[in-house]
Amino acid sequence: MFEGLTEKLSGIFDGLTRRGALTEADVTAAMREVRRALLEADVALDVVRSFTDKVKERAVGANVVKSVTPGQMVVKIVSDVMVETLGSDAQPIDLDAPAPVAIMMVGLQGAGKTTTTAKIAKRLVDRQGRRVLMASLDVKRPAAQEQLAVLGRQVGVDTLPIVAGQTPVQIAQRAEQAARLQGYDVVMFDTAGRTHIDEPLMAEMAEIKGAAKPHEILLVADSLTGQDAVNLAKSFDERVGITGIVLTRIDGDGRGGAALSMRAVTGKPIKLLGTGEKMDALEDFHPSRIADRILGMGDIVSLVEKAAESIDAEQAMKMAEKMRKGRFDLEDLSNQLAQVEKLGGIGGIMGMMPGVGKLKQQMADANIDERVIKRQRAIISSMTREERRNPDILKASRKKRIAAGSGMKVEDVNKLLKQHRQMADMMKMLGGGKKGGLGKMASM
């Protein structure tokens, strides 16, 4: 699936990731190509625009972590934005309702409703051990009800006995009653489609909805129809209301436009993908896995994730080096506090620093809490760069200004300065592994 789009994007990203440094112009040029690739893949114009805007915005503000190239970073950002566009989390079929839970399938003729009904039923029986009853409400096509019965026998799922001459609503009522009386967990309603959306179809769907009271209304749409599938979903949602989408014929979809636009345009989740004619050709829709497939760049994404994890450790090492050399100004302190905050505790960061093993427990015991850290950082951020680098210049008037700027008292500023001095002194001794009074930071 999505081979065409994958190939184009891979080409763009190969170029990006091979370069050492990237300029903003590189990113802009790459995004222009991405934009073209997405449009060719039949992704909705609005979606393309917001996609490339988001990537550009984040790429410009991104902190490129060491050991990955800027290009690799951009690929990771594209991947993140793609996952968001696809809907972030997988949304399985929701059966959280009193039994029998009704699922209604809607869509155009030939989209794959009947096939998908049987596929879903089979999966609920096989994987979740549910008792499922299927009913065809398609009285338009002569053999439609028989088609579902055949599939039912094939996958081992019960179908409602066919009674000639009933209306869709009558069949729906009979199915609901049968499911209730015979203790089925789930009752699935396969409906009739038309070649295009028209008023009689919408009216029929609304009527069936009223009778069947479905907990899920799944629109089955052919992914090969691209933007049409997306517009169809929008219309069905406005008119009948849908809870999710099943995209079929993904196996033949080289473009991916419908998959990529669906969530953003309709606000409704893609729940399942039909990937073939066989009864087990049905996949859960996992945005991150789909993004991986489309980008074909899963290895780079995980590389950047790993590098981002190790950046914290690396910064901590650098800090420790500075400390050992006896240079530890307020800027370092602020950075360190930020790290402590990020790493969720003093134990984590101390564990990464060489030569401070003995201090670790003491720090943990001191139980430095987040509020304290926030206040201390607020004070430091109210200082000028000069003041942070050279705390000795902090006399009364400057302290007053800093206290006012951070919403604290002058004595809080004094306390912080005193503690910093103690820390700096202690840092000088760290090489010898001597214990110091770091725990005092907690008392503010």
Q: In 3-143, which residue ranges form alpha helices assigned H by DSSP?
A: 3-18, 24-40, 45-61, 70-86, 113-128
Judged by beta carbon, residue 42 or residue 387, the one nearer ligand GDP is 42
Q: Would the annotation count 85 as a binding residue? A: no
Q: Give which of ligand GDP, Mg ion, none residue 276 binds (C-beta under 5 to 8 Å, depending on kind).
A: ligand GDP
Q: Is 25 annotated among the ligand-binding residues?
A: no
The 3-state DSSP class for residue 248 equals strand
Q: At what angle do helices 168-181 and 199-212 cross, to 10 degrees?
A: 20
Task: Find where tokens 């997405």 sit.
Answer: 38
| Residues 109 to 128 in contact with Mg ion, rule: CB under 5 A | 113-114
In the chain the first and final C-alpha atoms are separated, in Å, by 59
Q: What is the CA radius of gyration of the chain?
A: 31
* Of 429, 438, 232, nearest in space to 346 by CA: 438
Cis-peptide into 100, omega within 30 deg:
yes
Which part of the chain contacts ligand GDP (CB under 6 A), choosing from 247-255, 309-317, 319-327, 366-374?
247-255
Q: Which is nearer to ligand GDP, 55 or 246 (CB)?
A: 246
> Interface with ligand GDP by CB under 6 A: which range of 54-62, 103-111, 258-266, 304-312?
103-111
Residue 251 annotated in ligand binding = yes
Q: Which does 115 bind (CB under 5 to 8 A by kind): Mg ion, ligand GDP, none?
A: ligand GDP
Q: Among 245, 270, 279, which Cα is nearest to 126's?
A: 279
The nearest distance, CB 110 to ligand GDP, in angstroms, is: 5
Site for ligand GDP in 191-230 (CB under 6 A): 193, 220
107 binds, among ligand GDP, Mg ion, none (CB under 5 to 8 A by kind): ligand GDP
From the list ligand GDP, Mg ion, none, pick the one residue 109 interacts with, judged by a Cβ distance below 5 to 8 Å according to partner type. ligand GDP
Asked if 94 touches ligand GDP (CB under 6 A), the answer is no
Exposure string over 19-54, b if 16+ CB within 10 A, otherwise e: eeebeeebbeebbebbbebbeebbbbeebbeebbeb
Q: What angle do CA 283, 289, 292 make, to 5 degrees?
A: 135
Residue 256 binding: pick among ligand GDP, Mg ion, none (C-beta 5-8 Å cut-off by kind): none
CB atoms within 10 A of CB 423: 20
Number of residues in contact with ligand GDP, rule: CB under 6 A?
Answer: 19
Nearest CA among 373, 371, 351, 369 for reference residue 360: 351
User: Which residue among 85, 91, 136, 248 contacts ligand GDP (CB under 6 A)?
Assistant: 248
Full strand arrangement of the beta sheet holding 244-248? 158-159, 132-136, 186-190, 101-106, 216-222, 244-248, 270-274, 282-284
Q: Is residue 194 annotated as involved in ligand binding? A: yes
Least CB distance to Mg ion at residue 310 (A): 53
Work out which of 41, 75, 111, 135 binds ligand GDP, going by CB under 6 A.
Answer: 111
Binding mask of the shown chain, residues 135 to 174, with x at each position contacting ligand GDP by CB under 6 A: ----------------------------------------
Query: What is the C-alpha to C-alpha distance for residues 249 and 255, in angstroms, rounded to an integer?
Result: 12
Q: Which of 70, 71, 87, 112 binds ligand GDP (CB under 6 A)?
A: 112
Among 71, 107, 152, 257, contact with ligand GDP (rule: CB under 6 A): 107
Is 344 known as a binding-site position?
A: no
* Kind plus residue range of the DSSP H or E element containing 335: helix 330-342
Q: Binding site annotation covers 191?
A: yes
Does residue 145 bind Mg ion (CB under 5 A)?
no
**Percentages helix, strand, coil for the chain, rounded to the nearest 5?**
65, 10, 30
In this complex, which beta carbon is closest to Mg ion, that of residue 135 or of residue 303? 135
Listed in sequence order, the residues at least 6 apart from 212 whose beta carbon sits closer than 8 Å to its beta carbon are 102, 104, 172, 175, 176, 189
Contacted entry of ligand GDP, Mg ion, none for residue 335, CB cut-off 5 to 8 Å set by kind: none
| Binding positions for ligand GDP, rule: CB under 6 A | 107, 109-115, 193, 220, 248-249, 251-252, 274-277, 281
| Binding positions for Mg ion, rule: CB under 5 A | 113-114
Give the residue ranges of the annotated binding site for GTP.
Answer: 107-114, 190-194, 248-251
